[in-house]
Amino acid sequence: MRHRFRRVRSTGITALAVLGALLAVLPGPATAAGQPRADRLQRDADALRDAGVTGVAVRLRTPDGVRTVTSGTGDLATGRPVPREGYLRIGSTTKSFVATVVLQLVGEGSLRLDDTVERWLPGTVAGHGNDGRAVTVRQLLGHTSGLPDYVTDVAPRDHRAFEAQRHRRYSPEQLVALAMKHRPVFRPGTRHGYSNTNYLLAGMIVRAVTGHTWQHEVGQRILRPLGLEDTRAPEGHPYFPHPHATEYQQFTPGGPYADTTAPYLPFDTGADGAMISKAADLDRFFTALNTGRLLKPAEQAEMRRTVAVPDGPGEAPGERAGLGLFSVPLSCGGTYWGHSGSGIGYVVQPAATPDGRRSVTVSLHSRPADQDTGVRQLRALHNLIDHALCGISR
């Protein structure tokens, strides 16, 4: 998993780039003398809490059933526990839903992966060396377009800016226009480089092809058929239903932690990261996706055709990028597939084995500003997922 702001990947704002130290002195759950030590899943959740995450929730499904564990607190002011089945902002995990819709349209013959952006959105990608005639739909979905990321233009630099800017609405066209003020990061198709602009454009292409918003198509093609009643693709204000944990963001190293549970509209309304869900629904979606229930074989193969992802601090070694999915090797052999999501004050990581037999969703309800501690948190997150999917219990 990378550290960009809409995923767990590097953002253009250093203070929000990676997870970091946060309230590492929070006490762990009391254990009576002589009771057995907590099992691996609980210990791995506690390790994230001890690394500074305010609240952690984990849902693991295996052939033996479903387990949920939590650690830390769901709200620092009241001390209430982390909800075991709470609602989650899923950030860039939204991209997996949008990519699935685009690939369904490909399978129906409504568009092609090798269509150019210019074919569907004439004049939208232009200026400062950006050229929609040279960028394909495939490159958007796989982050090989080289297009600049709009996030650096709208991310808040501090809590005051968060509060001042969080109600400001941008259309996808406006956000893409901000990105077009910057030069491309690399020539299209030459390497991988994560950019949220890619999925704003993908959502716009869905509308150009179908005449409907990406939210409508996700609802009709995925949410309704799978019965994902706790998943929302909001077209208006992205209200956060109860129950949910409070989210906290540290904007500067050593600074205070701010409650950032309220939506930040420049980030929380687009096809790159607007959706809200629960862990059980994410499990159902990724299991259906991995086992071929949502895509025809040809499009499933395209989604899993991967390219190498550049290494970075705290990365999972060997990660590769497909179209709206990422694969990560497991220590026990094989890989898992998923797509992390992150925003101001939260991280979500769903992961599932290709056969659909095991899946895990981990939610972290704080993000700090210190990079070194952030890397430690990412490593603890990698460890939890690897242990859970490999069945490591000791």
pLDDT on residue 43: 97
Alpha helices in 116-239 (DSSP H): 117-120, 137-142, 151-154, 159-165, 172-179, 197-210, 214-218, 224-226
* Gap between the Cα atoms of 95 and 364, Å rounded: 19
pLDDT on residue 35: 39
pLDDT on residue 33: 37
- What superfamily in CATH does domain 14-390 come from? DD-peptidase/beta-lactamase superfamily (3.40.710.10)
Task: Report pLDDT digits (tens) over 98-119.
Answer: 999 999 999 999 999 999 999 9
375 and 314 Cβ atoms separated by less than 8 Å? yes
41 and 390 Cβ atoms separated by less than 8 Å? no
Per the listing, tokens 């020539």 go with 187
With the C-alpha atoms ordered 186, 192, 195, 199, is the resulting torsion angle positive or negative? positive
pLDDT on residue 371: 87
Token digits of residue 116: 């150019």
Token digits of residue 331: 């220590």
Reported as half-sphere exposure (CB side, CA atoms, 13 A), residue 271 has a value of: 33
Low-confidence ranges of the chain (pLDDT < 50): 1-36
pLDDT on residue 374: 85
Does 340 qualify as catalytic in the annotation? no
Residues 263-288 as b/e (b if ≥16 CB within 10 A, e otherwise) read bbbbbbbbbbbbbbbbbbbbbbbbbb
The CA angle 338-83-249, to the nearest 5 degrees, is: 70
pLDDT on residue 317: 85
Candidate list 92, 145, 195, 327, residue with the active-site label? 92
* Gap between the Cα atoms of 1 and 381, Å rounded: 10
Helix (H, G, I), strand (E, B) or coil at 258: strand
* Gap between the Cα atoms of 321 and 327, Å rounded: 6
pLDDT on residue 394: 63
